[in-house]
Structure 1
Amino acid sequence: MVSERVGQYIAKKGVSYYAFENSIGASRGSISKAVKEGKSIGSQVLENILAVYTDLNPTWLMTGVGEIFTENIEIQNKKIEAFRLKTDREIENQQIPLYDIEAIAGLVPLFQDSKSQDPIDHISIPHLPKCDGAVYVTGDSMYPLLKSGDIVLYKEIHDVANEIFWGEMYLIGIDMSGEEYVTVKYIQKSEISGCVRLVSQNKHHQDKDVEISKIKALALVKASIRINSMN
């Protein structure tokens, strides 16, 4: 059944049903309910899914024949996963600087004057959306989608109050009693005025409402790299 295969794809991607539904413009709970109850998914919704998730094999989705992904992007021992929006424009080739945010002392100084910061290396991956930089992930709040040591490639957000895509994954620098706390989270709307809700992929981490004014640096995560073997 198509809905069952949609559920398998979501599980393989490691995204939440909320983020998946939000990304394709579906109502909250509609996809999760269809998957859990084995109900059909409308043709327009399926078209939206295939338009947003271009790595999903349409033949497999409709028939179950073939591979789940249209391509398994691997560069040597690195596994790449891209997180695209409908408005993204792929760039054939770009040199993305990789920064050490611990050496720079956080996202805020990096984003304020990235041109003066020396990257530790550059990453070149063909046909990615535009990225401003890349950093290493620490912590397990987004496990298993991301794990400590993975690299995330990001696009800076300059207008925090007006440029958030709800349900998407962000690299965030938050003011915590005068010190910057850096994390990767989904950002959702909060029921508390003037706040956003930070949501983890790892269910052992509780959601947290944070004042927008406390967010001092923000970037949309566009792709991730996981090192599967170290030779």
Structure 2
Amino acid sequence: MENTRDRILQFIGYKGINKKQFYAETGLSNGFLDKTINPGADKLDKILTAYPDLNLYWLVTGKGEMIASNKIAPNVAPIIAPNAKIEDTQLTLGAPKIITMSQGKENILFVPVKAAAGYLNGYGDPEYIESLQAYRLPGFDSGSFRMFEVNGHSMVPTLKSRDRIIGKWCGIEDIKDSYVHVLVTRNDGVVVKRVLNRIKKDGVLILKSDGNRYEYPDMIVDPEEVVECWSGVGKISRDLSGPADLYSRIDDLEGRVAIVDDLKKRMADFERLLKG
């Protein structure tokens, strides 16, 4: 099965250049192609900067054409701010199809892990939406918000499994690079990741994890797969434990200081006894 490195080699063969030229033009270290099979987003960015005609989607997935066309990036369904009540389900594809209201204000619907599997099929179904718990939270009044329960450890330490991330409705064009977003996609369902918006440049979104990059590699998503986009604006967590390594070192240091202080006190007492 071909990987990204194989496609890079295929591309430089197409360009009629050798590895040495490739390294010089991209700024990548010598031997990079001998060590790396699926490079991360930072390396891909260097490659795309050096070769803007290279199709990033093909490079990562093997789908489509090697050489990017001069056409505009894939059409993205416009995402607009919702203005519908529970009975109104005729909004443009890509916007929240249904919201709920309480005392004239929009509720924050909570999507737990057990309900997330059905969210992709149910986000436009009134019965499904009404089955979700709804909340009002101080400070979240301006805009449309939704709360999703995090599943898994790919976003540790920022988000731990079972944390709740609160997302504010946003358009794909409003995605801020390296900020945490909740994307609802046709192929992967509900995904919580940091996002790099490369739609204008390469026609794709790059999804990154905060966890181990080898265990949780970057994801490349076609924007046409995205049906909802929520920008992370807060979280609710029951885990109040500190970063284990840092706190362990601090506790150890404090313990040593306490022991030293105790020894000093004992020495002072002993010296007083000797003098007395």
- Normalised by the length of structure 2, the TM-score is 0.41
Structure (1/2) with the larger strand percentage: 1
Give the structure with higher Rg (CA): 2
Higher relative contact order (CA 8 A, sep 6+): 1
- Normalised by the length of structure 1, the TM-score is 0.48
